[in-house]
Structure 1
Amino acid sequence: MNYELVDAKYVKDFVVWVQFDDGVQGEIDLKPELYGPVFEPLLDPSQFRKFSIHPEFHTLVWESGADIAPEFLHEKAQSCGGIEENRRF
C-alpha cells in the first residue's frame, strides 16, 4: 500500500505530528530511530526540526539526506493514536 504524507509538524524534542492522505495521524517519537551515520546529525534538535515533506515520495526528509519510509511513519502513527479528528496546530 502506498501512503502519502500530507502534513507534518514539529512538536518537541524528537517528536513529530504526521497526517496521511487516508486520515491517519498522530505524534511519533523518532529518537529511537536516529542511529547510524545518516541519522546521527539529527540528534541535534536544531537539525532534527528542519524536515520537510518530499514532493515526490511523500515522506519526511532532511537536508542531510536522511529520510524515513512513509510506511513506517504510517504504522507508528496508527499504533500511537490513529485518527485524531480534532487535532489543531
Structure 2
Amino acid sequence: MDWDVIEVKPQGDHLLLVRFKDGLEGTVKFLPSAFRGVFAHLRDTVQFERVAVLDGVVTWPGEIDLAPDAMHAEISRSGQWILS
C-alpha cells in the first residue's frame, strides 16, 4: 500500500520522522497526554527510541504500533500527526 512506512527516525523529545512508500514525509509528535495505556512505557526516551518499521508499520517492542493509514492521512493533510 502507498501508506506503508519505509523509514522512521526518532528526532528527540518524542518526535518521529516518517517516510512512506509513496514518498510522503512528515512527523509524528507524542504529547505528554498520549503516554497512557499501551503507550505509557514509551514516555521513557530509551524505550521510545527503540522504534522500528515492521511490515510497513511503525512499531515498538511489546506489540505496540501506529496505524499507518491514519498516520498517512493526517500527514498528507498537515505535514504532521499529533498524538494526544
TM range (shorter): 0.7 to 0.9
* Structure number with higher helix proportion: 2
- The count of corresponding residues between Structure 1 and Structure 2 is 80
SS in 2 for 1:12: coil
Amino acid aligned to 2:63 = G
Residue of structure 1 equivalent to 2:24: 24
Residue of structure 1 equivalent to 2:72: 74
- The answer on whether the counterparts of 1:28 and 1:76 sit within 8 Å (CA) in structure 2 is no
Residue of structure 1 equivalent to 2:3: 3
Change (3 A) 1:6 1:79: same
With the length of structure 2 as denominator, give the TM-score of the two structures: 0.78
Amino acid aligned to 1:51 = V
Instruction: Give the deviation of 1:51 after TM superposition.
Output: 0.8
SS in 2 for 1:27: strand
Structure 1 unaligned regions, length at least 5: 83-89
- The answer on whether the counterparts of 1:25 and 1:81 sit within 8 Å (CA) in structure 2 is yes
* Structure number with higher strand proportion: 2
Identity over the aligned pairs, expressed in percent? 26
Alignment of 1:11-50 (within 5 A): 11-31=11-31, 34-50=34-50
- The answer on whether the counterparts of 2:35 and 2:42 sit within 8 Å (CA) in structure 1 is no
Residue of structure 2 equivalent to 1:64: 62
